[in-house]
Amino acid sequence: MKIRADEHISPKLIRAVQSIALSQGWELSHVRDHNAARTADETWIPRFVAEGGKVILSADRKIMARPHQLQALIHGGLIGIFLSAKWAESRGHAQAAHLLWWWPKIEAAIILSKAGQCWRVPSDFGEGALEEIKIHLPDLRLKGSKPGL
């Protein structure tokens, strides 16, 4: 399984997961391993899909309000795993502990997911499951275009 983390997650945390928790045969990389810093999601996500990518790991708290980014993810047939706003506001050691704690359940959710499904990782250290996020993309047709185009 090929997973890529976005710029809202430290590359150091990705290396920790790679070293400690990533299942054999799975590939986890950071967007900066393959693209320049601050490369737009709309640019790197299609490249990742073309490389056989399957999952995006993100801590971008604003992505749900950005239809073009969601569209790149959904139309690319990717699975989205989103870390909570509380996670993003935590200190590095707490982020690392949380991500490592939840990693086995993240992998389990990925295995059971269909293309286009998105999940939110709980902000606690409980025994629960990831929460499915239902995505409803607005109509993004250009002005003046006809339905179906």
What is the pLDDT at residue 143? Answer: 40
The mean predicted confidence, pLDDT, of the chain is 88
Q: In what order do the strands lie in the sheet with 55-58?
A: 27-30, 2-5, 55-58, 79-83, 118-121, 131-133
pLDDT at 135 over 60: yes
Residue 149 lies in a domain: no
Give 60 or 109, the one with higher predicted confidence: 109
Residue 148 lies in a domain: no
Bridge-based pairing state of the strands 131-133 and 118-121:
antiparallel
Residue 65 lies in a domain: yes
The residue range of the domain holding 129 is: 2-133
Residue 108 lies in a domain: yes
Q: What CATH code is carried by the domain that includes residue 51?
A: 3.40.50
Residue 143 lies in a domain: no
Residue 145 lies in a domain: no
Most confident residue range from 14-23, 78-87, 127-136: 14-23
Domains of the chain: total: 1
For the entire predicted model, the pTM comes to: 0.87
Q: What is the pLDDT of residues 21-67, one digit of tens each?
A: 999 999 999 999 999 899 988 889 999 999 999 999 999 878 777 87
